[in-house]
Structure 1
């Protein structure tokens, strides 16, 4: 319980720094939260986001994949990892992650939006339009 409280405190501090744009400091706190509780998925997800924003995409990929391994029912790292694949120009690699995210929550408009963008990049325009319609539904 003490380790979990420590992890939550470190993670909360990391989030505050992240929101303030202090990404390097946020990364440090996320890593400390992970050290306090290596089984928690949220710090890995947040670490992946901060690293991606810093341009450290290989490390971001690794952190997000670890978040999914820690908690396969956590939607956010599926979405974030798929977004990185799209930004890397390989949206087809993120598509299964987005489909899994929709299994977790088929009402998540950010997932529908990202899936639509990924499908557009693959020239699947009709399927992309269906995704965008889900955003507006």
Structure 2
């Protein structure tokens, strides 16, 4: 039994560590969304190659129907992404994998040259953002490209601050300031600006509400974080990170059925996120549902085979298999 519990405790500790605002583990995830620069629409079936900093190809991810890609279990450091999609200009992007990339990056592809009749429509933005001054929106667009495509958080922060100087009610820009501060490992400044975004929007802007909730829960402030998390999920019921955080919260309270429901929802929203399967496996192990836990661990190992957590998952899988066999002689 002790042999079984030790790796489980290590695995559970890895889950707890995921709550910290700045991860100390050298393993990190890189995920993101590929967009059309012209329309802001997500691009499905784009080829995203992860390369080392010398340009040597390591592995490929093809974007989902929602334009999403993921590379789990990477060592923090410098990488190159090479992105191609039919009808778009190929892009090569330098990326520093760190805490900020856990939140996902945005990649913008330029459409290939078309005749005037084939030009795409203007980008679609919210009515609120459209009401902001054009100069502020221009700074916002510039900052997002620097933060998510150029990995230049310092310069992006300057643009976002310029945007709110021109438009003090621009709550979307305050949210981006918060994300830039997280990238710069300034959680106090991030919280301040996320709170401003949430306040200015009267808790109607889901990106800021969820980001602030996750930040607060990351320091175990469930009193303030949980109401915001649930509000964020009301605003955006398609947020897999939101349901993942809800599942963790319920698991810590040993509310296993609500935890399982939340984790399964997160899985259905994005089945390529390894940490969701880690959460599912912990819940199923608590329920002594070893068969389901094995399936969760298999899914986790498939997505994240080589990180320290991946090796721990393999140990837990072997112990869980033995536990299952001993319970059914």
What SS class does the counterpart of residue 185 from structure 2 fall into? Answer: coil
- Matched with 1:10 is 139
Deviates more, 1:63-72 or 1:97-106: 97-106
Instruction: Tell me, in whole angstroms, the C-alpha distance in 1 between the residues paired with 2:134 and 2:170.
Output: 12
Is residue 23 from structure 1 mapped to residue 177 from structure 2 by the alignment?
Answer: no
Is residue 119 from structure 1 mapped to residue 119 from structure 2 by the alignment?
Answer: no
Greater C-alpha Rg: 2
- Matched with 1:89 is 220
Q: TM-score, normalised by structure 1?
A: 0.88
- Matched with 2:165 is 35
- Conserved? CA contact 2:214–2:229, under 8 Å: no
Deviation at 1:102, TM superposition (A): 1.9
Change over 3 Å in CA distance of 1:10–1:30 after alignment to 2: same
More strand by share: 2
More helix by share: 1
Is residue 102 from structure 1 mapped to residue 233 from structure 2 by the alignment?
Answer: yes
What SS class does the counterpart of residue 151 from structure 2 fall into? Answer: coil
Deviation at 1:80, TM superposition (A): 0.6
Deviation at 1:110, TM superposition (A): 2.6
Q: Deviations over 1:77-123 (max 9, x none)?
A: 11111111122233443111111112213333232122223333444
Change over 3 Å in CA distance of 1:122–1:57 after alignment to 2: farther
Q: How many residues align?
A: 137
CA RMSD, 1 decimal: 2.0
- Conserved? CA contact 2:160–2:176, under 8 Å: yes
